[in-house]
């Protein structure tokens, strides 16, 4: 199940800009942007704690787990070259 980051939603609800949050918790805007986009492999608990403290939320408010979509079966009418028969 992929983890979905909903930090942008919490920032909007709290009316806080990413730039301001980054300054308050002591990380770069670039790293916060990567976290918001979900392009990180992990996050330190201390960073998560600081974000939750500043946004007055719980980790579950900014992190969610969504079920994976089932794989789509390949089109059986295609040959190895990608041309239809």
Domain ranges of the chain: 3-65
Convert the pLDDT of each residue in 37-79 to its tens digit: 999 999 999 999 999 999 999 999 999 998 887 777 655 555 5
Average pLDDT of the segment spanning 18-28: 97
Q: What is the CATH T-level fold of the domain 3-65, as seen in this structure?
A: 434 Repressor (Amino-terminal Domain) (1.10.260)
| Residues 11 and 55 sit within 8 Å (Cβ to Cβ) | yes
- What's the pLDDT score for residue 7? 96
**Global confidence as pTM:** 0.76
DSSP 11-49: HHHHT--HHHHHHHHT--HHHHHHHHHT--S---HHHHH
């Amino acid at each position: 199940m992929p983890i979905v980051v909903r930090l942008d939603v919490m920032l909007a609800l709290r009316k806080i800009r990413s730039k301001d949050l980054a300054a308050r918790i002591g990380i770069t805007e670039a790293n916060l942007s990567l976290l918001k986009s979900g392009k990180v492999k992990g996050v330190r608990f201390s960073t998560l704690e600081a974000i939750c403290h500043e946004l007055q939320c719980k980790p579950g408010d900014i992190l969610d787990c969504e079920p994976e979509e089932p794989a789509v079966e390949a089109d059986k009418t295609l040959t190895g070259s990608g041309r239809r028969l």
